[in-house]
Amino acid sequence: MWVLRNNFSIGTWIVLGSVLQGVASLLLPRRYALAPAVGLLSFRLLRTGLMCLGLVPNPHMDEVFLGKLTGLIPGRDGSPPKHGSDQEVAVMILATRSNHPLGIFAPGYNELSTLFGKLLIELHKNAEETGFLGNTAWLNATEQYNTNQLMVLVYFRSREELEAFAHGPSHRRAWDWWNSITATHPHLSIMHEVYHAPAGHWENIWVNNHLSGIAATVARMDGPDGQRLRPLFDAGRGPLRTHLGRLGSGDGGENEKYGEAKY
């Protein structure tokens, strides 16, 4: 849905709305012609007001984790990490943009996004065997008025597994397709960046944040009663409080000279 929204500029959406309003004005009795638009706007204003007062739920807070959390990677056997980032991680940034006047309706774009979607579905299905940890997607909404770049972060347990995916049959098929269309489809762009961080060389912190980035990975660890848990840890206390602690090389006392946030 948001890919479609992003395909047209705000100006275009407003003009589309004006045309609809124009049609309504022609068809409806004069005194009711503005009712749908005014009604919708009043409803939204009222709802925002009620949300500010706490009288109706605020959907922006759905799935927000209050407090300070860090996302770690459990062992392959589901064992919880012992000290911060004690697993390595390989991250691939992939991005695509259609530079065609038709945006996502350009020749080739549908194949590109279908092939890409299939790759991600396959990775999610075979996460354990492929070392895939999860992915999140981002849209650079401020880049242009429309058809902005779509970026996906893909996390793997190791560089070798990332490479095995890149050279595996499914990605090779997508790659061959891409090679066959580049000359005729110069309006489609793709890019990637790859980073590999050995154990003890990456960390993260999430404050009152929803699950995005590495916090949204699919890896689960064994909880105390045998439940499978998200590998998210309270970073408000203990060694995980600090950058060095989360890297696995500090005890959490490094920032004592600074003030502490209250949650």
Nearer to ligand NAG (CB atom), residue 97 or residue 230: 97
- 150 or 240: whose CB is closer to ligand NAG? 150
The two structure tokens encoding residue 241: 């409080």
Q: Which stretch binds ligand NAG (CB under 6 A): 24-32, 104-112, 137-145, 253-261?
A: 137-145
- Binding residue for ligand NAG (CB under 6 A) from 42, 140, 184, 208? 140
Q: Judged by CB under 6 A, does residue 143 bind ligand NAG?
A: yes
Q: Compute the least distance from the CB of residue 150 to ligand NAG, in Å.
A: 11
Determine if 142 is a binding residue for ligand NAG (CB under 6 A). yes
Least separation in angstroms between CB 93 and ligand NAG? 9
Stretch that binds ligand NAG, among 41-49, 80-88, 140-148, 218-226 (CB under 6 A): 140-148
Least CB distance to ligand NAG at residue 246 (A): 24
Q: Is 179 in the site for ligand NAG (CB under 6 A)?
A: no
- Choose the binding region for ligand NAG from 7-15, 31-39, 138-146, 160-168 (rule: CB under 6 A): 138-146
SS (H, E, C) the chain: CHHHHHHCCHHHHHHHHHHHHHHHHHHCCHHHCCHHHHHHHHHHHHHHHHHHCCCCCCHHHCCEEEEEEEECCCCCCCCCCCCCCCCCEEEEEEEEEECCCCHHHCCCHHHHHHHHHHHHHHHHHCHHHHCEEEEEEEECCCCCCCCCCEEEEEEECCHHHHHHHHHCHHHHHHHHHHHHHCCCCCCEEEEEEEEEECCCCCCCCEEEEECCHHHHCCCCEECCCCCEECCEEECCCHHHHCHHHHHCCCCCCCCCCCCCCCC
Quick one: 48 or 140, whose CB is closer to ligand NAG? 140
Shortest CB 143 distance to ligand NAG, Å: 4
**Binding interface with ligand NAG (CB under 6 A):** 140, 142-143
